[in-house]
Structure 1
Amino acid sequence: MRKLVLFVALALAAFVSHAQAPATTTTTKVGYADVDYIFSQMPEAKQIDSDLKSLQTQLKNQVDTKYQEFQKKLADYQANLNTMIDAVRANTERELQQMQQNIEKLQQDSQTTLQAKQTALMDPVYKKVGKGIEDVAKENGYTFILNQQIGGLDVILYGDEKMDISDLVLKKLGVTPKPAGTPATTPVKPK
């Protein structure tokens, strides 16, 4: 996502500097694509989603198991607190504290693992989509292609639908776009 934001920022900067340059004989043709829409239409998207959900469930089960062990140990500690000798009480408190720290670390490691897996699975697809966008842009004479949205925020506030190359990119990648009326993309909002 950071690469995409950087790409769009550089494209906009280049576009602005090109627009400020003296008029030349070349025409600037600007189009836009909805990368999230394209990605959602890719066959790989369903498999990636399934793989990530499976990993997320597996990691959640590991955390839940450790948490249940902690809860059981805590309940035993609380039930026997009045009858414990000081040394056993102190030792049990240290164990509970260590278990709690281990659970927190496991949660953090799970998030890191999930993010790493997501990046590993999505990077090749985003590269494929990027290459498709580049090929379509070159084949159709576009100087710039902007992303319609970044992080849920509109980058294109108005755009002629004829300049949306998302379906051309999908076709270039061998994917048949879903028919119109399928709520797979957010329409461009008029000014």
Structure 2
Amino acid sequence: MKKLFKVALVAGCLFFAGNVAQAQSKIGHIAFNQLIDQMPDTKNVQKQIQDYQKTFVDQLTALNNELQANAQGYDAKKATMTDAARTAKEAELQDQNKRLQDFQAKAQQQVSDKTQQLSKPLLDKARAAVQAVAKEKGYAYVLDTTNQDLIVSPEADNMMAAVKARLGLK
């Protein structure tokens, strides 16, 4: 009976110890934006986005210069204009200003869409590398420490070196 009790006690302790060991998950962290910045493709993507954005900036500058010239011409002639001509010119300037604002909003949306389109393969590549390293090293969770939003967190391993090695970065 004592022997059976000891065996049951040992079995219970092993079972409990196994559950405690299983409950502890490995946690890693990485500054994801820093990783992206260090990837060589990032410069190429940023250059493409800047070039795309420049086309809109040039058009916006031309539209704005045209609006300013029309507004200055209106200000210079407004005292000699009839009420009907003044009202028509003001409506024209308001319409031109609205077109400028609409174009600016559309340009911002198109640049945002292009940024997402060009950045997606880069982000996917980095995420895949982080996931592969996490799986390889047995991490259950990987936290992004870019924004330092965590006030208190459990001790974790920095995965930056392993992910950079996986991506072939120095």
TM-score w.r.t. the length of structure 2 is: 0.80
**1:145 maps onto 2:142 in alignment:** yes
Instruction: Report the secondary structure of 1:154's partner residue.
Output: coil
Question: Which residue of structure 2 lines up, in the alignment, with residue 155 of structure 1?
Answer: 150
**1:87 maps onto 2:81 in alignment:** no
Question: Which residue of structure 1 lines up, in the alignment, with residue 29 of structure 2?
Answer: 32
Q: Deviations over 1:103-151 (max 9, x none)?
A: 11111112111111111111221111111111001111111111113xx
In 2 relative to 1, CA 89–61 (structure 1 residues): closer, same or farther, beyond 3 Å? same
Question: Which residue of structure 1 lines up, in the alignment, with residue 73 of structure 2?
Answer: 76
For the aligned residue pairs, the C-alpha RMSD in angstroms reads: 2.1
Stretches of 4+ aligned residues off by more than 3 angstroms: 22-25, 156-161
Deviation at 1:42? Answer: 0.6
Distance, in Å, in 2 between the alignment partners of 1:54 and 1:153 is 32
User: Unaligned stretches of 5+ in structure 1?
Assistant: 1-21, 177-191
In 2 relative to 1, CA 40–159 (structure 1 residues): closer, same or farther, beyond 3 Å? farther
Q: Superposition pairs for residues 22-171 of structure 1, below 5 Å?
A: 23-26=19-22, 27-149=24-146, 152-155=147-150, 163-171=157-165
Q: How many residues align?
A: 152
Distance, in Å, in 2 between the alignment partners of 1:158 and 1:83 is 72
Larger C-alpha radius of gyration, 1 or 2?
A: 2
Relative contact order (C-alpha < 8 Å, sep 6+): which is higher?
A: 2
Instruction: Report the secondary structure of 1:38's partner residue.
Output: helix
Instruction: Report the secondary structure of 1:145's partner residue.
Output: strand
Conserved? CA contact 1:147–1:155, under 8 Å: no
Q: Which amino acid aligns with 1:154?
A: D
In 2 relative to 1, CA 156–166 (structure 1 residues): closer, same or farther, beyond 3 Å? farther
What is the identity percentage for the equivalent residue pairs of Structure 1 and Structure 2? 26
Distance, in Å, in 2 between the alignment partners of 1:124 and 1:46 is 14
Q: Which amino acid aligns with 2:77?
A: N
More helix by share: 2
User: Unaligned stretches of 5+ in structure 2?
Assistant: 1-17
In 2 relative to 1, CA 91–64 (structure 1 residues): closer, same or farther, beyond 3 Å? same
Deviation at 1:160? Answer: 5.9
In 2 relative to 1, CA 66–51 (structure 1 residues): closer, same or farther, beyond 3 Å? same
Instruction: Report the secondary structure of 1:142's partner residue.
Output: coil
Conserved? CA contact 1:74–1:96, under 8 Å: yes
Q: Which amino acid aligns with 2:82?
A: I
Q: Deviations over 1:129-183 (max 9, x none)?
A: 111111001111111111113xx3433756768x11112112112222xxxxxxx
